Amino acid sequence: MPNWELKNCCDHDQKVFIACVAAFTVVILVLWRTFLLTPFKLITVFLHEASHAIACWLTCGKVEGIQVHANEGGVTQTRGGIYWVILPAGYLGSSFWGMTLILASTNLLTAKIAAGCFIAALIVVLFLAKNWTLRGLCIGFIVFIAVVWLLQEKTTVHILRYVILFIGVMNSLFSVYDIYDDLISRRVHSSDAEKFAEVCPCPCNGFGWGVIWGIISFAFLCGSLYLGLVILS
């Protein structure tokens, strides 16, 4: 039975999990404005746009192209589908994938499955990419994850779980920050939240939806830490 109450927390694996999340968070905050984190920030943008695309496909729409820009912006060109499902999928989807990667890192098998799915997603988006920034990002991370996986299998450098965890933590933190920066601290009339407020019949403006999405995104982050400890208990 799952140890939902986290009795007798924390054992060695749980302590390592907490320590790694804390260490990665510190590293990310220290290096936040450096070029070293740029590829990982762009991967968060990639997952944001990919989530729009998935929502479009799931609601019977067509994805005509995806772009990710070096300035950490992006756009997904869609036709058809359910607009009010596609719009929130970007921010909430990237937060969800961050949580998924964090949880996948708790076990080597699930980390391998996550890495395989990640590579598959990068390959799919590579063929939908409309600019070279996204193409380069896809190719770079396909090679990066493949090399890390090869090291995991053929050498004593067993870092696949930690790479997946780092990407998950980075994605979760950046998603929360992105929602705050784009939707709460400043009003961008072309933002997903403002567009969603226009099509949603609920009496809530873009700022309000930004707050709601921010709370959900932060809940995903907290939930990933709690569930990670439960899985490891």
Say how far apart CA 176 and CA 173 lie, in whole Å: 5
Per-residue pLDDT, 160:
96
Per-residue pLDDT, 169:
95
Cis peptide leading into 222, omega within 30 of 0? no
Say how far apart CA 223 and CA 161 lie, in whole Å: 19
State pTM to two decimals: 0.92
CA 165 to each of CA 83, 86, 162, 187, 209: distance values in angstroms, whole numbers, following the listed order: 32, 27, 5, 32, 29
CA dihedral 78, 84, 87, 93 (to 10 degrees): -110
Q: Which residues of the chain have pLDDT under 70?
A: 186-189
